[in-house]
Amino acid sequence: KLKTETTFSSKTGADEHFSTVPYADVCNIFQEIESTSSRLSIIDICSSFFTRIMKEDSRNLVPTTYLFINKLGPDYEPGMELGLGEGLLMKTISESCGKSLVQVKNRYREMGDLGQIAMEARNVQPTMFKPKPLTVGEVFINLRNIANAQGKDSQNKKIKLIKRMLTACQGVEAKFLIRSLESKLRIGLAEKTVLISLSNALLRHEQGLDVKPTDEVVDKAEQSIRDAFCQVPNYEIVINTCLEHGISQLGRHCQLTPGIPLKPMLAKPTKAITEVLDRFQGQLFISEYKYDGERAQVHLLPDGTMRIYSRNGENMTERYPEIDIRDFLSSSGTESLILDCEAVAWDKEHNKILPFQVLSTRKRKDVDAKDVKVRVCLFAFDLLCHNGKPLINKSLRERQEELHKVTKPVDGEFRYATKLITANTEELQHFLDQSVKDSCEGLMVKMLDGPESYYEPSKRSRNWLKLKKDYLNGVGDSLDLCVLGAYYGRGKRTGTYGGFLLGCYNQDTGEYETCCKIGTGFSEELLQHLYDRLKPTAMEAPVAFYVYDSAQQPDVWFEPSLLFEVLAADLSLSPVYKAGSSQYDKGISLRFPRFLRIRDDKLVEEATSSEQVIDLYEAQSQLS
């Protein structure tokens, strides 16, 4: 059985994961990656480094991996966030690197990179004694202690820990230490690249350095590790299971576990009922209402506790204190389960669904069940695990049958997604219209039988199609794009930003590629809100991982922190935008983009990917 919590002990400061790899080695690799643009070369650099440190001691791998992805543990565990503010870091740099605060601030205004500033300051600072070199284990545990520091004296505690590390920094170490503390490593290293490199290194470690595995073996290992990670998104567990049982045994040991949120299955967009029918030709499929709420992965643990996780694995149980999954179980035979649901705002009086905007007015923290005004109904559409048995490799029909067996609907609190099985165009059209009348966004259409209907964690699958009413006349889907920059407003919009430069995320390169300017769909109030929210993230210059054309320079650049959901009339090839340009000669851009809403439930790396933009562009060309 997998433990749900990681085993690092941040309290004792030393434990079985304590790694003696010099931190300087990691930083030198970061430096090399920063100046390398070829993704294959970056994979080589990372794989060789991971292999080397594993040869010394395989326990080095977990903390090193976390430093590479600039995280401190799994996303679903609390207390793993760094992202320290620039004020605190400037003060610390000034106090420990022999510069006045004004000097640090001025330099920051000039170059916008605190890491670089700390490095420059450290390297000209005279030191009497050569400090003891930092190790990966030490830095990792210190970063964890900094993230976990709480209470009255926490600020001082953080400063003390950072200073202690800074004074031991040499060469490029200070640069990457400060950037890690800010949660902005900025070296163009995507997490996907780290995962591939990890799997290469684990394979080499397992097979011995003299064996050159075939491409097939490499691909299989990568797939196994990726599958395991989608079910158990915890590097510590996946790496240690590989080391203990071998890559081929991962599937047996890293399985769905209540208490560990798996990465949810995602759907591909479609523009028309005919497209749906073409896809499922001759095979049975089920159409369900597509509810407009918030994805909720509900876990019941064997110890009787319950957790609700968001789309990106954040624990949001506290947000829904009024929900108790045990009220919705049909018999006493259930000890644990994992359900996939949509949480939707519910009007109890009139027994109907309320719009997403109402749900978003609910408090996110410290919610007391007594004070809850906006009620929520869970619409369940899948059962992924029951009493310790993963069900993802069963057909959707079987999973839903099981779902109906082990749970029971409770009016206005727990229901099943409304569904219909038909391949008749008129019936489907009618069902789509009905879904919209019933305050849903459209339909989710899913393969019903056979292996193609298995639940594919994390995958945007052709076996799930979304058909939203909004899409029927647009590009086929809305896009969630990262705000990279802004243009100052004129006229009525003076004093705020009037337009924004948006980009998609290239999951292979870790870069954001520009794809449109947007200025439509914003109220004055919203523009003010966006100004207040984005201004603190402004940078003097764009970062190296923004791909843009100099003709499209905005007035202000931002750190990637916010996603806009936008709808466009269509997509076209563009000489000045860059979406998909690493695979396509030209970039792809959105025509007539219109703002729909802010996407706070997605991480910036979950922005629409370049690959998805290319898919949408190509789907559109096929139709026309």
* Residues at the site binding ligand ATP, with contacts judged by CB under 6 A: 266-267, 288, 290-291, 295, 311, 342, 381, 417, 444, 466
Which pair of structure tokens corresponds to residue 228?
């395991």
Element (H, E) at 162: helix 154-166
Determine the residue with CB nearest ligand ATP: 295
> Which residues, in sequence order, are CB contacts of 312 under 8 Å at separation 6+?
75, 601, 602, 603, 606
> What is the Cα 579 distance to its own chain's centre?
19
Buried b (16+ CB within 10 A) or exposed e, 425-451: eeebeebbeebbeebbbbbbbbbbeee
> For residues 32 and 605, which CB has a smaller minimum distance to ligand ATP in the complex?
605
DSSP secondary structure, 538-554, as one string: EESS--TTEE--GGG--
Q: How far is Cα 47 from Cα 199, in angstroms, rounded to an integer?
A: 8
Least distance from ligand ATP to the Cβ atom of residue 298, Å:
13
> For residues 418 and 528, which CB has a smaller minimum distance to ligand ATP in the complex?
418
Least distance from ligand ATP to the Cβ atom of residue 122, Å:
42
> For residues 288 and 559, which CB has a smaller minimum distance to ligand ATP in the complex?
288
Least distance from ligand ATP to the Cβ atom of residue 46, Å:
27
> For residues 164 and 462, which CB has a smaller minimum distance to ligand ATP in the complex?
462
> For residues 416 and 584, which CB has a smaller minimum distance to ligand ATP in the complex?
416
Q: How far is Cα 49 from Cα 81, in angstroms, rounded to an integer?
A: 26
Buried b (16+ CB within 10 A) or exposed e, 74-88: bbbeeebebebebee
> For residues 55 and 364, which CB has a smaller minimum distance to ligand ATP in the complex?
364
Least distance from ligand ATP to the Cβ atom of residue 607, Å:
9
> For residues 119 and 571, which CB has a smaller minimum distance to ligand ATP in the complex?
571
Which pair of structure tokens corresponds to residue 611?
């690959």
Least distance from ligand ATP to the Cβ atom of residue 292, Å:
7
Give the residues across from 407 on adjacent strands.
Answer: 329
> What is the Cα 448 distance to its own chain's centre?
28
Work out whether the CA dihedral 70, 73, 78, 79 comes out positive or negative. negative
> For residues 416 and 592, which CB has a smaller minimum distance to ligand ATP in the complex?
416
DSSP secondary structure, 285-326, as one string: EEEEEE--SEEEEEEE-TTS-EEEE-TTS-B-GGG-TT--GG
Least distance from ligand ATP to the Cβ atom of residue 401, Å:
16
CA distances for 281 relative to 272, 274, 459, 472, angstroms = 14, 10, 22, 21
Residue 290 annotated in active site: yes
> Which residues, in sequence order, are CB contacts of 297 under 8 Å at separation 6+?
261, 262, 264, 308, 309, 310, 338, 339, 340, 341
DSSP secondary structure, 394-407, as one string: S-HHHHHHHHHHHB
- Please check whether residue 225 is in contact with residue 253, taking contact to mean a CB–CB distance below 8 angstroms: no
Catalytic residue among 175, 184, 263, 290: 290
Least distance from ligand ATP to the Cβ atom of residue 278, Å:
20
Q: How far is Cα 230 from Cα 216, in angstroms, rounded to an integer?
A: 21
Least distance from ligand ATP to the Cβ atom of residue 256, Å:
18
Active site residues: 290
